[in-house]
Amino acid sequence: MRPLRIALLGAGRIGSFHAATLARTDGVGDILIADADPPRAAALAARTGAKALDSPEEAFEAGVDAVVIATATASHADLITRAARAGLPAFCEKPIAVDLPGTARALAEAERAGTLLQIGFQRRFDAGYRAAREALRAGRLGRVHTIRAVTSDPAPPPAEFLPLSGGLFRDCMVHDFDTVRWLTGREVTEVYARGTDAGAPAFREHGDVDTACALLTLDDGTLVSATATRYNGAGYDVRTELCGDRDQWAVGLDARTPLTSAEPTGPGGPEHPWPGFLERFESAYRAELDAFVRAVRGALDSPCPGREGLNALLIAEACELSRRENRPVAPAEPAAAAGLG
């Protein structure tokens, strides 16, 4: 079977990481890189032995076998649509779009075309999360009654990113929402969310929050607390605790977790805490692109289909509505408001 010819759209931080990963992935041959900033695409292509294109649009006329979308969020839905209409499998970093109508339209295009679409929820490919999922599904924890999810960035993103991000629930905590559904196989029936904007003025200016907490109720009664902040000076911290009546498991608790015990005999803070998401999930990012390549070849189904992006976004939308109106919200409510049934 000949090597795949893949177009990578986006040459920023995550695009650069994906370019290096694709260059080392079995089954990948030519890599064509395009970006809204052509010199940036050319520089990345030179570093990775790829070929630079003049624009993302050119990729759909370049005779590629698949596309990897790592561009700015606002362009995702259009590029997914272009890929579908060209009959091309696509991997896309989350989100599909920052709103429900845009997400639904892009999904409809991919489903109408019958093309493969994989969404970049990389935690599904992390060794710790996968082990916890297997343990939970095998019944080793017994009845799981409580789940606690933590996502903490070491510092806020640039102020100019905030109006484009969709907000803390859609940009950051959406990973936790997807992970909870994937780990448990259950659906979220109700959320209650709060947030604060006590940090930089840019959060208030754009109607966003820098710290948030959400209580999720699953369809079997399991309670989930999910917290996130843009201000965790100790380092990058992503953890999930699964608490059952037989055992408790923690994902993300290792020698680099930026957490200091207050106990006299407890561990101190790590010498080299995780600095960011690329370092913390390096292996997971590599595994998800390897899975995408194998799915393009027909060796497996998409491990994170496009609909999963919509399902997680519905929970994020419910949380944002709950935060604004200070009331419990079912994910079915924003779905109905968007005409999704």
38 and 85 in a single domain? The answer is: yes
Do 88 and 184 share a structural domain?
Answer: no
One domain, residues 138 and 233: yes
Question: Structurally, how many domains does the chain consist of?
Answer: 2
Of the pLDDT bands very low, low, confident and very high (cuts 50, 70, 90), residue 8 is: very high
Is residue 28 a part of any domain in this protein? yes
Residues 322 and 184 in one domain: yes
Tell me what pLDDT residue 164 has: 86
Dihedral Cα 91, 97, 102, 108, nearest 10 deg: 20
Position 98 scores a pLDDT of 85
Q: What is the pLDDT of residue 91?
A: 98
pLDDT tens per residue, range 259-308 = 999 999 998 999 999 999 999 999 999 999 999 999 999 999 999 999 99
pLDDT of residue 189: 98
Question: Where is average pLDDT lowest: 110-124, 158-172, 212-226, 235-249?
Answer: 158-172
Which pTM does this prediction carry?
A: 0.96
Q: pLDDT per residue over 71-102, tens digit each? A: 999 899 999 999 999 999 999 999 999 899 99
Say how far apart CA 67 and CA 61 lie, in whole Å. Answer: 12
Q: According to the 3-state scheme, what is the secondary structure of 227-280? A: EEECCCCCCCEEEEEEEECCCEEEECCCCCCCCCCCCCCCCCCCCCCCCCHHHH
Domain match, 101 and 56 both: yes
Domain that holds residue 78: 4-123+284-305
Measured in whole angstroms, how far is the alpha carbon of residue 49 from the centre of its chain? 27
299 and 329 co-located in one domain: no
Q: Which two tokens stand for residue 218?
A: 């699953």
Per-residue pLDDT reduced to its tens digit, 250-268: 999 999 999 999 999 998 9
**Same domain flag for 170 and 106:** no
Does position 54 have pLDDT exceeding 90, yes or no? yes
The verdict on residue 339 lying in a domain is no
**Are 176 and 161 contained in the same domain?**
yes
Q: Can you give the pLDDT at residue 213?
A: 98
Query: What is the rounded average pLDDT for all residues in the chain?
Result: 96
232 and 113 part of one domain: no
| Same domain, yes or no: 242 and 145 | yes
